[in-house]
A = this chain, B = another copy of it.
Amino acid sequence: MTEAELKPARRSIGATRNPASQEAILAAAEAVLLENGLAGFSIEAVARRARAGKPTIYRWWPSQAALLLDVYHSHKRINFIFPDRGNIRDDLRAYLTGILKTWRDGTSGEVFRCVVARAQEEPAALAALSAYMADRRCQSGKIVEKAQERGEVRPDVKAELVTEILSSFAWGRLLTERLDVSEAEVEAVVDTVIGGILTKPAA
């Protein structure tokens, strides 16, 4: 193996993403989005800021939506957790708190709002968002499945539906700029889903 194969040139623009340029483009995309808003976001503006060619960007990200989602992903790994604390109440509280905190702190909430907005206008954005959400539902549903294995949650409960209810609540708050949810409010939402709202528990 030659040294060139071991250390590919930094500026190569092949089908394989070059991590250095990739990071530069993601950083540029985020900066353009936050400075110009979604209305002023374009691959052209990103290319100019990253000093990259538009074809390079399009080779790596087939749509604006794919690029926006990658900007989003590059942030959220820190706080988006699928907790496993051994009981469903703590797990779901940590799950909902994690989403809200991720969106409230820093810029990832702003980016995700733009992804959702763009998905209402562009089929490619909707497809990218839908694929991402399907994966998320599958992942987060495991929180409930584990509780079912422990015998905590009824076996007839649809696991993915439970975490979808909680993440949809967070979406609603993000999209109406009401992310400042108190701990008590998180507990009230989770307790509703876990224990219901009836005076007497259903038979």
Q: Which residues of A contact B (CB under 8 A)?
A: 37-39, 88, 113-114, 116-121, 126, 129-130, 133, 144, 151-154, 157-158, 161-162, 164-165, 167-169, 171-173, 175-178, 185, 188-189, 192-199, 201-202
Contacts and interface: CB of A to CB of B under 8 A. Distances in A.
B120 A176 contact: no
Copies of this protein, total: 2
Given A194-B202, A201-B195, A37 B121 contact: yes
Interface of A is mostly: helix
Contacts of A129: 176
A185 B130 CA distance: 19
Contacts of A171: 168, 171-172, 175
- Residue among A119, A120, A129, A154 facing the most chain B CB atoms (10 A cut-off): A120
- Residue among A88, A164, A195, A197 facing the most chain B CB atoms (10 A cut-off): A197
Contact of A120 (B38, B130, B172): B38
